[in-house]
């Protein structure tokens, strides 16, 4: 049990000190929101996708 606690504490500290983690999550959530909104707009006929 003590070893698991030390490993979990180390991982929390590593995640907290990495400067790329939060921006990466924000970009992923932002891309999801944009693509979801575009998909819903195309489905409802508000926009038309290109006919390549």
Query: What pLDDT, in 10s, does the model give residues 1-49?
Result: 456 566 778 788 877 777 788 889 999 999 999 999 999 999 999 998 8
Kindly tell me the sign of the dihedral angle through the C-alpha atoms of 5, 21, 40, 42.
negative
Instruction: Report the pLDDT value the prediction gives residue 18, as an integer from 0 to 100.
Output: 72
In which region does residue 43 sit, left (phi positive, over 0), alpha (psi from -120 to 50) or beta (all else)? Answer: alpha
Q: Can you tell me whether residue 46 is helix, strand or coil?
A: coil
Instruction: Report the pLDDT value the prediction gives residue 38, as an integer from 0 to 100.
Output: 94
Which residues have CB under 8 Å from 6's CB, separation 6+? none
């Amino acid at each position: 049990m003590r070893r698991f606690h030390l490993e979990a504490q180390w991982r929390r500290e590593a995640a907290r000190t990495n400067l790329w983690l939060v921006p990466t999550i924000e970009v992923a959530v932002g891309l999801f929101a944009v693509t979801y909104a575009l998909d819903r707009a195309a489905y409802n006929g508000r926009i038309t996708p290109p006919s390549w």
